[in-house]
Chains A and B, each alone.
Chain A
């Protein structure tokens, strides 16, 4: 009878160990799947954001040629925000703005610079400067 009790205890303990191991495995699998889903969602969100930025960028480029100063300024501020949010795009954005200065020169003689010229130069200064 005693051997039977020992055997059943051993079987129970073994069962508990196996059940625990299965539980740990299932928990690990669940965490892994959740992590993969979270990463996929993050990637998707980043792609959606980039699409949105591309749209903003294209619209701003079109607005740079607008005859109204306030529309051009809005375009410059939008491009500045893109520079701040996506550092890897700051080079192309600055290049675009300096090309705008080259292609649309405004001879304001000795007067104060127009607001759009001033803002573009400020962008050049702030994005490339302050690093001593």
Chain B
């Protein structure tokens, strides 16, 4: 496999964490572009600085999660997730 093909394989791969129980883990600065987090329990997960572009957050438990500095997170993504008053949202949310 050529280097270009290997890079392509890596780029196309999407993380699927749907339905997982990963409370209190550390996903800071992770590249979660296009990741499937539907139904995952991500309570108190550290997402600081992570890239959540096009990540699927339907029914994702983000109670107490730290989303400080998260990049490419939209209001509609947040609207589909489960948050509470302990969830730390980024100062800026894209539309």
Contact = CB atoms under 8 A, between A and B. Distances in A.
A101 B20 contact: yes
Given A88-B5, A128-B31, A122 B26 contact: yes
A55 interface: no
Summarize A's interface: helix, strand, loop or mixed.
Answer: helix
Interface stretch (A4-12, A20-28, A62-70, A113-121): A113-121
Interface in A71-106: 87-88, 90-91, 94-95, 98-99, 101-102, 105-106
State which size class the interface on B falls in.
Answer: 20 to 34
B1 A117 contact: no
Contacts, number: 84
Interface residues of A, number: 30
A85 to B, nearest CB: 12
Contacts of A117: 21-22, 25
Contacts of A111: 24
Which secondary structure dominates where chain B touches chain A? Answer: loop
Contacts of A121: 22, 25-27
B27 to A, nearest CB: 5
B23 A113 contact: yes
Interface of B: 1, 5-6, 9-10, 12-13, 15-32, 43-44, 50-51
